[in-house]
Amino acid sequence: MSNKTNTGNFFEDFEIGQELVHATPRTVAEGDIALYTGLYGTRFAINSSDRFAQDLGLPGAPIDDFLVFHIVFGKTVPDISLNAVANLGYAGGVFGELVYPGDTLSARSEVIGLKENSNGKTGVVYVRSRGHNQRGEMVLEYVRWVMVRKGDENAPAPEPTIPDLPGAVAAADLVVPPLSDIEGYDAALAGSPHLWDDYSVGERIDHVDGMTIEEAEHMIATRLYQNTAKVHFNQHEQLSSRFGKRLIYGGHIISLARSLSFNGLANAFKVAALNGGAHTNPTFAGDTIYAWSEVLDKMELPGQNGIGALRLRTVACKDSACAEFPYKGEDGKPLGDVVLDLDYTVLMARR
């Protein structure tokens, strides 16, 4: 039998310090933007309107930050999570140079942590992934950890190595886009009168709206991002899994939550950092996603008078409206209807 096909890396195939160069550079096109908008209904003005972006001093509308995330993430899947059980979390994510239609994105990763699970059948792999454009400029860097199956359950366990990860990205490390005319920011066109000054630490926002996930949408999304993880693609194989059906890609929930957050955070025009996050419960086709957010911190930015940063927690729930802000139970564990706990930092115009 030919051995030319890629069966993906299993847990025992990873080593600390291993460098992975991911295949298939991707040139981002206008069609990618249209499909992304069709999937999530995103309405942030700076990503929707060339004119709006140009009035701020940019050459045109940049690509939505989470579309950049998905493209970079998708590059890493065949080498890191093709044999994954679940993607577990994120940390230390920084969005760098803006991406525009015509830019080509590539990705590399480094293995920075390994720990076999007590069942001896799986282990957790920690990687730092970096996406860059055709000029070699960083567009996104983040750490994620993923549970991966062992191909040989008798393979010896590696020495456990768990990296020390930051709790949040510092204000000084955020990359602020070169907006030469922030005074030209039009809050009315952006969709809300509420700017950075109007939010307070501890404030909670129910984003009200809900979106039902269709199987076809999820499959289009994973193909759009070239995310080939078996748990999302292969219903035949997933029939024998714990749930008996395909899981919705966690990034799909992130984009749904970000889109829903427009109602209450319309002026959060830029995602600057991915501080942390966890996919706390599985999601399936037919589930309806709602979201709420909490302001964790307000940060002034060095050398920036017209822009501030908000550190947010956005919680997404399935089949449960968020008027009462569902989150964790008395045991400290996420409630069963909570599917995403995302800690991230956004940029917002100031008065």
**Of 335, 351, 345, 332, the residue nearest 293 (C-alpha):** 345
CB-CB neighbours of 324 under 10 Å = 9
Closest CA to 310 of 259, 278, 265, 254: 265
The answer to which of 177-181, 239-243, 333-337 has the lowest mean pLDDT is 239-243
Hey, is 187 helix, strand or coil? helix
Kindly tell me if the per-residue pLDDT of 2 is higher than 70: no
Q: What does the alpha-carbon distance between residue 129 and residue 73 come to, in Å, rounded to a whole number?
A: 8
Q: What is the mean pLDDT of the chain?
A: 94
Q: Residue 234's pLDDT is what?
A: 79
Least-confidence region, from 231-240, 301-310, 326-335 = 231-240
The CATH H-level (homologous superfamily) assignment of domain 10-153 is Hotdog Thioesterase (3.10.129.10)
CB atoms within 10 A of CB 178: 10
User: Which pLDDT score, from 0 to 100, does residue 268 have?
Assistant: 98
Instruction: List, for residues 50-105, the tens digit of each pLDDT value.
Output: 999 999 999 999 999 999 999 999 999 999 998 888 888 899 999 999 999 999 99
**pLDDT of 233 strictly over 80:** no
Q: What is the dihedral of CA 89, 62, 103, 131, to 10 degrees?
A: -20
Q: Mean pLDDT over residues 34-51, rounded?
A: 96
- Average confidence (pLDDT) over 35-61: 96
Same fold, 10-153 and 193-213+248-351: yes
Confidence of residue 1 (pLDDT cuts 50, 70, 90): low
| Under 8 Å between Cβ of 132 and 238 | no
Contact 340, 318 (CB under 8 A): no
CATH 3.10.129.10 corresponds to the domain 193-213+248-351:
yes
Per-position DSSP letters for 203-268, written without gaps between them? -EEE----EEPPHHHHHHHHHHTT---HHHH-HHHHTTSSSSSPPPPHHHHHHHHHHHTHHHHTTE
Cα-atom radius of gyration of the chain, to the nearest Å? 20
Q: Taking Cα atoms as reference points, which of 116, 199, 196, 104 lies closest to residue 160?
A: 116
Confidence class for position 227, pLDDT limits 50, 70, 90: confident
Domain boundaries, the chain: 10-153, 193-213+248-351
Segment 159-169, tens digit of pLDDT = 999 999 989 99
E strand or H helix that includes residue 111: strand 104-116
Given a cut of 70, whether residue 290 has pLDDT beyond it is: yes
pLDDT(155) > 90? yes
